[in-house]
Amino acid sequence: MDTVSRERRSALMSRIRGRDTKPEMAVRRTAHRLGFRFRLHRRDLPGTPDLVFPGLRKVVFVHGCYWHRHEGCRFAYRPKSNAAFWNGKFAGNVTRDMRVRQELERLGWDVLTIWGCEIADKAALAEKLTGYLGHADG
């Protein structure tokens, strides 16, 4: 049983953003500080990647651990109420993420997923981005 009313839950859920989230902004700041330049949310690519590096043919998705089911992460817990709905929702998200990744790879793009829980360690985030993107020019 949910602890808040249906109307309150709906209001809370409607405030969840899909772009310009704190984790995404942290990745963007880190990539920019490292000297990488990118495009945001290119709608002409499958899945509208969060960061697109056109010259490198690489994209980055910044996924929330809860919504995208980061395996083994403490933030990817399952709600106790309305379990059937959430199980279907999460399964759909994971399936869509796999399909989008395959479509991008088929089009010749490399794909990196950065999880929300990985944002806290700034040095590791910078290392992950540098390892994936190489060294920025200039």
Q: How confident is the model at residue 81 (pLDDT cuts 50, 70, 90)?
A: confident
Token pair for 105:
């790879």
Q: How many domains does the chain have?
A: 1
Residue 9 lies in a domain: no
Domain range for 48? 18-133
Residue 97 lies in a domain: yes
Percentage of residues of the chain with pLDDT beyond 90:
73
Residue 34 lies in a domain: yes
CA distance 100 to 102: 5
pTM of the model: 0.85
Kindly report the CATH number assigned to the domain that includes residue 38. Answer: 3.40.960.10
Q: Give yes or no for residue 9 having a pLDDT over 70.
A: no
Crossing angle, helix 122-133 and helix 22-33, to 10 degrees?
60
Per residue in 30-65, pLDDT (tens digit) is 999 999 999 999 999 999 999 999 999 999 999 999
